[in-house]
Amino acid sequence: FALWSGAMGRRGPLRQRKLERMAHEGALPAVAVDQKEKQKPEIVLVPEPVRVLEGETARFRCRVTGYPLPKVNWYLNGQLIRKSKRFRLRYDGIYYLDIVDYVTSDDSASIMVKAVNIAGETSSHAFLLVQVVKMMKDDEGEYIFYAGEKKTSGKLIVAGW
């Protein structure tokens, strides 16, 4: 054991100096740890404005690049959105925000997505517009639905009325 460890002990420093000399002379291009260059986040698919009728689901999406992988957060009127029954957050290479559970005109808001990593941060804004659906009777007594001022469907006959 002593003979073996002594031989290895002498060869260790020699081998180390040889590797250092080769690296200095450029003969070992991969001696340094392979490290990807840090990149500031960039939103390459920006969230689009969304217009929905009351009761529909509003969906926003974005795609973010950067290294290391940025942390992405969504904000509603400046308030951080957390995953809940009302707000669904999902990622499959694209970041999604779904606002569900009967969206009303009170939910019309400014939406912001913000991406942050150690190299920097970026953000993008979109707007959510929820149109009110009205039910009115026409001249013949039939019900018609309107979104804002536009007629969105034909007559609806309500059973039992």
pLDDT of the chain, 161 residues: tens digit per residue = 444 444 445 566 666 666 555 555 555 444 444 468 999 999 999 999 999 988 899 999 999 999 999 999 999 999 999 999 999 999 999 999 999 977 888 888 999 999 999 999 999 999 999 988 776 677 777 766 665 555 544 444 444 43
Task: Tell which residue, 109, 87, 105, 107, has the closest CA to residue 97.
Answer: 87
> What pTM, to 2 d.p., does this model score?
0.64
Task: Tell which residue, 109, 116, 28, has the closest CA to residue 76.
Answer: 109
- Measure CA 72 to chain center: 5
